[in-house]
Amino acid sequence: MSILDLIPAPVRPWAIALVLLSIAGAGAAGSWAIQDWRYGNALAEQARQSADVARAAAEATVGALVIEQDKRLALEQRLKDNDQTHYKDLSDAQTAQQRLSDRLATADVRLSVLLNAGSAAGRCDGVSAPASAGGVVHGPARAELDPAHARRIIGITDAGDRGLIALQACQGYVRALSVGRN
């Protein structure tokens, strides 16, 4: 006796159809599962490749940022060195000017100016001033300046020196910036 004999005759076509449909459904479900597994593997591989590309781009960006940060730090260091040099030059110039002013105030130093040889007591051009009784200096005639005028001249030259030092510092700053951008 077979299994078909156990099924009543009027239901037999439905049972056969049901078995065939079950077999077809199992086949379809199996192929669906296999396709899902294959597609999942393909998506996982694609996601891994995409992550690798993103990681490489991130590493390149971080490398570029590190290089730019190093450039910025080097520029900051150069600017700091330029500022220190500028400050040292400025303080040295101020110290020298202060010493000269102090020496002028105490009469250690007298500023003098050359006189036009033609206007000095009717002397001829080309003839040097005669040496005084206590010295042997032969040179152009000079006149001493009043200490107040000498201080004014020193103040003017000090302002000029400070201006030149500031100009050099600005030029150094611009050079450092232009080198830093290249």
Q: Would you write out the chain's pLDDT as a tens digit for each of its 182 residues?
A: 787 778 888 888 998 899 999 999 999 999 999 999 999 999 999 999 999 999 999 999 999 999 999 999 998 998 899 889 888 988 888 888 888 777 777 766 666 776 765 554 544 454 555 555 454 555 677 777 777 787 788 788 888 888 888 888 888 888 877 876 66
Q: Is 104 helix (H, G, I), strand (E, B) or coil?
A: helix
**pLDDT score of 122:** 46
DSSP per residue, 2-67:
-HHHHS-TTTHHHHHHHHHHHHHHHHHHHHHHHHHHHHHHHHHHHHHHHHHHHHHHHHHHHHHHHH
Domain boundaries, the chain: 3-110+145-181
Tokens of residue 87, six digits: 């400050």
Q: How far apart are CA 139 and CA 107, in angstroms?
A: 22
Predicted TM-score (pTM) of the model is 0.46
**pLDDT score of 158:** 81
CA atoms within 13 A on the CB side of 124: 2
